[in-house]
Amino acid sequence: TAAHSACHSALMIILLLLGFASLAACSDHPPAEDPTQGKWTVFKDDEQLHPCIKMYATIRLKLSYVDADDAMKEVPEFAVPADAIAATGEGKSSCYERVHIGDEFIDSQVLHLEFPHNEGWNVRLAFTQDPRMGVNQNDYALWQVNVTANYSSMPDLFHNAVKDHTHTYFSVIDFLNPPYIAGVEYTALGDSLYCPETPQEFEINVDESVGPFASISLSDLWMQAYMSTDDFGKQVICADDQTDLDMVPVIISAILAGLVLFTLITYFVYRSRLPTDILEMTEPEFEEEHEHHEHATEHNHLHDNHNGSHHGHNNANHHDNYGYKEEENRF
Ligand SMILES: *[C@@H]1O[C@H](CO)[C@@H](O)[C@H](O)[C@H]1NC(C)=O
Ligand SMILES: *[C@@H]1O[C@H](CO)[C@@H](O)[C@H](O)[C@H]1NC(C)=O
């Protein structure tokens, strides 16, 4: 019994240790302060008390450009400076702006970022509640990203660029086919969208007839537009990050189940290979059964001897016994 329970306790301890190890592995990513993450706010009022847009994000851009020799070039992905400024004023950040698309306009809130060390650069992120952009009632979405580039002020990246040439990359809006980004970067009014894990990439322009290619990647993202509170509302985790988080317990359970099975199989295989005499030592039930059996044969053996060789000698005793019993039975 001792060997048995010792084995069981060892199994339990191994399982517990595995459990703790997996828990530790799960909770072992503290939110590191990312130096590329910018924190921007657009206010409704000059006193800067009531925000309409708050955005914490690392924004990366991938841009192509036409150089001075008319060749199409692509620059390595680079981050919008974390110290970019949410600029205000005419045609810049705004809580109420009609963004023109051809003859139409989309009521929007716009975050307009200017690069402090690169003159002539800006990124414009437009949010809306307009159903024509595929936004459901009581939701808001990021629907357009424009990037204005002044190649001359980033000469290290844009080699041999046309001097003092600025270009605006913009996502072409098709009213019949609402923008993909609006179907991903959206949530309910009053809630904030939180995407800490998976960087999300969106095309700005892929149509060469419109201009050079451009895409944007958003990571470490926490944002909200159409705000009516002074701080972020309830965090809604991005669909991409949700599936990631949901997979963690599933994977860990699968690994643990596999280990339990492995341990049990190993235990039984090991046990089945033990010689019988060791099994007798470790298996109390088997041992007891065996003993009883042995005792029983011994007794029979003794009886046989007794009755066989000393038969005549004990006849008197036997009779005495019977006589006594008969006497007893009379009363
Ligand atoms: C983006 O650029 C396009 C083309 O210039 C323009 O029609 C649109 O209004 C711009 N959108 C924003 C949010 O600035
Ligand atoms: C573009 O950058 C160059 C170099 O920094 C600067 O001289 C020029 O004024 C900029 N153009 C615009 C439109 O900001």
From the CA of 152, the nearest ligand is: 2
Q: Return d(Cα 169, Cα 299) in angstroms, integer.
A: 103
- Ligand 2, residues at Cβ distance < 6 Å: 119-120, 150, 152-153, 164, 166
Check: CATH 2.40.160.110 for 29-231? yes
- The per-residue pLDDT for range 72-121, each reduced to its tens digit, is 999 999 999 999 999 999 999 999 999 999 999 999 999 999 999 999 99
Tens digit of pLDDT for each residue in 15-50? 677 666 555 555 545 455 678 999 999 999 999 999
H or E stretch covering 51: strand 51-66
Question: How much distance in Å is there from the Cα of 126 to the middle of ligand 1?
Answer: 9
Report yes or no: 52 and 232 within 8 Å, Cβ to Cβ. no
Beta-bridged to residue 145, according to DSSP, are 125
Query: Which of 157, 164, 165 to probe ligand 2 with, by most ligand atoms within 8 A of CB?
Result: 164
Which pLDDT band, with edges at 50, 70 and 90, does 275 fall under?
A: confident
What is the number of the ligand 2 atom nearest to the C-alpha of 118? 5
Q: CB atoms < 10 A from the CB of 87, how many?
A: 15
pLDDT surpasses 50 at 183 = yes
Cβ contact 142:126 at 8 Å: yes
CA 53 to chain centre: 27
Question: Do 225 and 125 touch, CB atoms closer than 8 A?
Answer: no
Atom of ligand 2 nearest to the CA of 120: 14
| d(C-alpha 123, C-alpha 105), whole Å | 19
Give 252's strand partners. Answer: none
Mutate to test the pocket of ligand 2, among 65, 115, 119 (most ligand atoms within 8 A of CB): 119
pLDDT at 289 over 90: no
Q: Which residue ranges make up each domain of the chain? A: 29-231, 276-329
Nearest to 178 by CA among 128, 212, 218: 128
When pLDDT is cut at 50, 70 and 90, the band that residue 274 belongs to is confident
Among 117, 121, 150, the mutation site with the greatest number of ligand 2 atoms within 8 A of its Cβ is 150
193 versus 283: the higher-pLDDT residue is: 193
* Protein residue with its CA nearest to atom 2 in ligand 2: 153
Query: Both tokens of residue 73?
Result: 């070039």
Distance CA 136, CA 129 (A): 8
pLDDT of res. 247: 72
Burial 287-301 (b: 16+ CB within 10 A, else e): eeeeeeeeeeeeeee
Q: Which of 139-153, 188-202, 231-245, 302-316 has the lowest mean pLDDT?
A: 302-316
Q: Widest CA span of the chain, in angstroms? A: 136
Q: For residues 252 and 19, what is the distance between their CA atoms, to the nearest angstrom?
A: 9
Ligand 1 pocket, residue 100 CB under 6 Å: yes
CA 179 and chain centroid, separation: 27
Cα angle 171-168-206, degrees, rounded to a multiple of 5: 40
Task: Please give the pLDDT value at position 34.
Answer: 73
The residue whose CA is least distant from atom 4 of ligand 2 is 153
**Number of neighbouring beta carbons within 10 Å of residue 305:** 10
Q: Which atom of ligand 1 is nearest to the CA of 99?
A: 9
DSSP 131-167: GGGTPPTTEEEEEEEEEEEEGGG-TTTSTTBPTT-EE
Confidence label for 293 from pLDDT (cuts 50, 70 and 90)? low
Side-chain-side CA neighbours of residue 10 (13 Å): 9
| pLDDT surpassing 60 at residue 298 | no
Angle at 146 between CA 140 and CA 150, to 5 degrees: 155
The atom of ligand 2 lying closest to the CA of 166 is 13
Residues 59 and 80: beta-carbon distance below 8 Å: yes
What is the pLDDT at residue 24?
A: 56
By the 10 Å C-beta count (0-12 exposed, 13-18 middle, 19+ buried), 227 is classed as buried
Query: How far is residue 26's CA from residue 187's CA, in Å, rounded to a whole number?
Result: 27
Task: State residue 246's pLDDT score.
Answer: 67
**Is 172 touching ligand 1 by the criterion CB < 6 Å?**
no
